């Protein structure tokens, strides 16, 4: 039998011998475009100032499809990263599998419940437990335009679908690319989000893309949506296939193209190229969707990690929720803060509009999760939509076939 003193000495020796794990976080994300990387740097530097080493795990691919594949492999091999950038329903899937950490103590100490809107908390929390730190709110129903080009062609901001199509025609006649587009399924779905909102309004958007009601999916309204997608297809250039979203934005920045329909991460690219809102570029809501905000929020989901890795993980979560960080990061990223207690003054014209629109939509009940960005339905359903939208955009289906295919693909994925 060892004496108490002996046992204490052994314990002490263990403490001295066991090397303390250096504070480090490994973060998996898909922010590899110029504007995205610039925004992420704000977070990296913030942590490094606190003595936390940042191990970067970038997986390129807009919308995060490839990143989610890599994540599955990492978790399956029993080696999850500290934190993972994630969208909407994917967060819930990982929570259901029991793979994520519990941030409740940190959240309570810092009153996260009071500052994060319910629509975002729906994904940051699972069964009453905080599991993710939301960095921002993006929205997809935006159009980005080259201002000098529009001025040159005498085009004002289009307020209706008819005006928008007339503007696209004008640009086409002048020999420029009317619509900068990257032919990847998630980008086509991003346009589809706005066209559904314009054509059917918020109620129809909810019925069709969130509640997945068969009646809405095969309605004349949905057929009209596909017909409008066909109209937009006329205005993309011949090389659109497979193009990354940021290269499409670059066409607008350079003045080769007039418009891009894209979420406000596009603003990050304009800013990163030294361009200014209302001078070099315009941001405005997709015509007919001015009252609604089709949102997505980038959240950092904290995974179950070893006990000694948890303090750094909490530091990361805390840093993401810090008001000063939410200002600095979102000014660069193009999104708006996830926190509701941030003043609009520090933001540029597009950012201020984004913040005002968000507050208005939250009050009016028109703040609606984006299907294309994983906030409308789980991944299987989202991917079923992607397949049909893309096949139709590329002329494989006419609009009648598209609604039939959509009905059966969604039913099979539900």
| Site residues for ligand GAL per CB under 6 A | 30-31, 36, 62-64, 87, 138, 245, 265, 296, 298, 373
Nearer to ligand GAL, 125 or 373 (CB): 373
Nearer to ligand GAL, 64 or 354 (CB): 64
Nearer to ligand GAL, 134 or 200 (CB): 134
Min dist. Cβ of residue 382 to ligand GAL (A): 11
Number of Cα atoms under 13 Å in the Cβ half of residue 328: 15
Min dist. Cβ of residue 63 to ligand GAL (A): 4
Interatomic CA distance for residues 289 and 40, integer angstroms: 30
Min dist. Cβ of residue 342 to ligand GAL (A): 18
Closest CA to 238 of 394, 33, 398, 396: 394
Min dist. Cβ of residue 159 to ligand GAL (A): 27
Nearer to ligand GAL, 233 or 382 (CB): 382
Interatomic CA distance for residues 299 and 315, integer angstroms: 15
Asked if residues 102 and 130 have their Cβ atoms less than 8 Å apart, the reply is yes
* Phi, psi for 88 (deg, rounded to 5): 35, -115
Nearer to ligand GAL, 58 or 255 (CB): 58
User: Which residues fall within 8 angstroms of residue 267, CB to CB, at 6 or more apart?
Assistant: 35, 144, 277, 283, 334, 350, 351
Interatomic CA distance for residues 347 and 107, integer angstroms: 26
Asked if residues 90 and 79 have their Cβ atoms less than 8 Å apart, the reply is no
Nearer to ligand GAL, 134 or 202 (CB): 134
DSSP 286: P
Asked if residues 281 and 272 have their Cβ atoms less than 8 Å apart, the reply is no
Nearer to ligand GAL, 68 or 131 (CB): 68
Min dist. Cβ of residue 31 to ligand GAL (A): 6
Nearer to ligand GAL, 36 or 207 (CB): 36
Asked if residues 140 and 263 have their Cβ atoms less than 8 Å apart, the reply is yes
Q: Calculate the CA dihedral of residues 240, 246, 250, 253 and round it to 10 degrees.
A: 120
Min dist. Cβ of residue 266 to ligand GAL (A): 9
Q: Closest residue (Cβ) to ligand GAL?
A: 62
DSSP 345: G
* Phi, psi for 375 (deg, rounded to 5): -110, 5
Chain centre distance of CA 117: 16
Nearer to ligand GAL, 85 or 199 (CB): 85
Asked if residues 294 and 210 have their Cβ atoms less than 8 Å apart, the reply is no
Question: DSSP labels for 305-343?
Answer: --GGGHHHHHHHHHHHH-HHHHHHHHHHHS-B-SSS---
Min dist. Cβ of residue 292 to ligand GAL (A): 18
Write down how long the chain is: 414
Min dist. Cβ of residue 336 to ligand GAL (A): 12
Min dist. Cβ of residue 60 to ligand GAL (A): 9
């Amino acid at each position: 039998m060892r004496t108490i003193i002996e046992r204490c000495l052994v314990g002490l020796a263990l403490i001295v011998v066991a090397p303390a794990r250096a504070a480090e976080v490994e973060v998996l994300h898909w922010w590899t475009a110029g504007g995205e990387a610039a925004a992420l740097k704000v977070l990296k530097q913030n942590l490094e100032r606190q003595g936390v080493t940042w191990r970067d795990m970038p997986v390129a691919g807009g919308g995060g499809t490839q990143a989610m594949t890599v994540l599955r492999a990492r978790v399956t091999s029993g080696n999850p990263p500290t934190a993972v950038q994630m969208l909407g329903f994917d967060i819930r899937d990982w929570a259901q599998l029991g793979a994520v950490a519990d941030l409740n103590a940190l959240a309570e100490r810092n009153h996260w419940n009071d500052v994060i809107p319910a629509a975002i908390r729906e994904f940051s929390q699972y069964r009453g437990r905080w599991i993710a730190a939301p960095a921002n709110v993006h929205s997809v129903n935006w159009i980005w335009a080259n201002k000098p080009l529009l001025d040159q062609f005498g085009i004002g901001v289009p307020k209706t679908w008819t005006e928008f199509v007339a503007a696209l025609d004008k640009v086409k006649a002048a020999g420029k690319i009317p619509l900068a587009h990257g032919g990847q399924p998630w980008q086509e779905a991003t346009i589809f989000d706005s066209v559904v909102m314009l054509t059917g309004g918020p109620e129809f958007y909810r019925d069709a893309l969130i509640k997945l009601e068969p009646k809405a999916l095969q309605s004349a309204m949905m057929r009209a949506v596909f017909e409008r997608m066909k109209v937009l297809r006329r205005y993309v250039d011949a090389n659109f296939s497979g193009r990354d979203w940021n290269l499409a934005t670059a066409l607008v920045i350079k003045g080769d193209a007039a418009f891009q329909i894209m979420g406000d991460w596009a603003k990050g690219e304009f800013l990163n190229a030294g361009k200014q809102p209302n001078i070099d570029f315009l941001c405005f809501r997709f015509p007919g969707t001015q009252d609604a905000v089709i949102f997505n929020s980038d959240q950092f989901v904290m995974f179950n990690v070893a006990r000694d890795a948890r303090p750094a993980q909490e530091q990361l979560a805390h840093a993401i929720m810090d008001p000063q960080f939410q200002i600095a990061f979102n000014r660069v990223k193009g999104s708006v803060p996830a926190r509701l207690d941030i003043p609009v003054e520090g933001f540029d014209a597009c950012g201020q509009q984004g913040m005002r629109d968000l507050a208005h939509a939250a009050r009016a009940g028109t703040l609606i999760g984006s299907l294309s960005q994983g906030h409308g339905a789980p991944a299987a359903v989202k991917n079923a939509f992607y397949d049909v939208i893309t096949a139709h955009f590329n002329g494989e289906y006419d609009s009648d076939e598209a609604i039939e295919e959509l009905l059966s693909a969604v039913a099979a994925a539900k």
